A and B are shown apart, each in its own frame.
Chain A
Amino acid sequence: MKQSELKLDGNAIAGVLAEIFAVEMTAVEGTCAGCGNVAPMGAVDVYANAPGIVVRCPACAQVLITIVRAPGRTWLDLGGLRRLQLVT
């Protein structure tokens, strides 16, 4: 199967994100540190078929976030995100 057919979006990991951030995240806007594109987290590209979850910018495909979960631990890499705008 082609990688492009495995692409999901941020809605698919809304539960995982809510578990980590403790707020609803799909309507939160994220800014890509690579190209500056702003997108709601529900609209980012997600690949969940790897051992971890890879979140990519829908505009330039830069990796925004990786999430790896193991029993009792979660590794969260936010290196590709410049900013998250939460509605408070």
Chain B
Amino acid sequence: MASAASTGVLGRLAWRLGRVADILPETPRVSTLVFEVPDWPGHLAGQHVDIRLTAEDGYQAERSYSIASAPEEGRVALTVERLDDGEVSPYLVGEVRPDDRLELRGPIGGYFVWRADAEPARPVLLIAGGSGVVPLMAMIRHRRAAGARTPMRLLYSSRSYEDVIYRQELEGLAAAEDGLEVVHTLTRSQPSGWQGYSRRLDRRLLDEVAWPASSGCAVFICGPTSFVEAAAAGLVESGHPPQSIRTERFGATGGGQS
């Protein structure tokens, strides 16, 4: 009865056991865990889930991870970056095996979300630093799955070519030329013949890539705290109204997501 009682109190946000249905390596440090979650109520693009691990001595660690899959997919894909000094991510990327069951709860969040049917004609600018691309990928996948033609532009900063998460999928989606554009910048190393940007996000890069404020675009920025603040401040300086910019920070070293 204890579980029934706690479910009653937290009925709106209960812990569920999700089964790991698949594990997809994305980069040397990043993997996607695909979960089947019984009675999953569905989610919006940009939402996340909390994962809770419990050690044999009862110690619990809880972390928040963005959902990478589109709402239309029905399953819950989490893309996780392994942080070597992290408490949870080294377990999720490296130890977890298919058919393992993990405690998770969600979907969570209603601020950093995008719905294709809300303002279908309003352009959407997505700015990602590293694994900050994950919730933005859910928005990109949602746009495609919903058949939306919303103009969408992703500016994606990674350390190197090998660190670009979803590289092939993004190439394929952008090649469709249906209104999605992808612009990469590689900040640490670039492959020979690299045609894209090769520096950290700065005001000039933002001015070259972002739509002007007059476009009325909605902006979603996700990445490390300093990255998010630089991007948001640059756009505000260029005249974008602060209320059109939504941000999600995950700390200097993954912080809340370690």
Contacts and interface: CB of A to CB of B under 8 A. Distances in A.
Interface stretch (B71-79, B119-127, B242-250): B242-250
B105 A7 contact: no
B13 interface: yes
A7 B12 contact: no
Given A5-B226, A11-B111, A12-B256, A23 B12 contact: yes
Contacts of A10: 111
Contact of B248 (A1, A9, A19, A48): A9
Contacts of B256: 8, 12, 48
A40 interface: yes
Contact of B246 (A5, A6, A18, A42): A42
How many chain B residues sit at the interface, stated as a range, is 20 to 34
Given A5-B226, A8-B225, A9-B249, A18 B108 contact: yes
B257 to A, nearest CB: 8
B64 A12 contact: yes
Interface in A42-59: 42-43, 48-49
Contact of B255 (A12, A26, A40): A12
Contacts of A1: 252-253
B48 interface: yes
A43 B242 CA distance: 11
Given A12-B64, A15-B13, A5 B252 contact: yes
Interface string A45-77: 000110000000000000000000000000000
A27 B113 CA distance: 10
A41 interface: yes
Nearest to B224: A5
A27 B249 contact: no
A41 to B, nearest CB: 7
Contacts of B106: 15
B181 interface: no
B151 interface: no
B251 A6 contact: yes
Contacts of A41: 111
Contact of B13 (A6, A12, A19): A19
B249 A8 contact: yes
B55 interface: no
Given A12-B250, A14-B64, A15-B50, A27 B12 contact: no
30 contacts: A1-B253, A5-B225, A5-B252, A6-B251, A6-B252, A7-B249, A7-B251, A8-B249, A8-B251, A9-B248, A11-B112, A14-B64, A14-B110, A14-B111, A15-B62, A15-B106, A18-B13, A18-B108, A22-B10, A22-B13, A24-B108, A26-B111, A40-B111, A42-B109, A42-B112, A42-B246, A43-B111, A43-B246, A48-B255, A49-B255
Given A12-B255, A24-B109, A26-B109, 4 more contacts: A9-B248, A11-B111, A11-B112, A18-B108
Interface of B: 10, 12-13, 48, 50, 62, 64, 105-106, 108-112, 225-226, 246-253, 255-256
The 10 closest A-B pairs by CB, nearest first: A42-B111, A5-B252, A26-B111, A12-B256, A27-B110, A15-B50, A24-B110, A14-B108, A14-B109, A11-B248
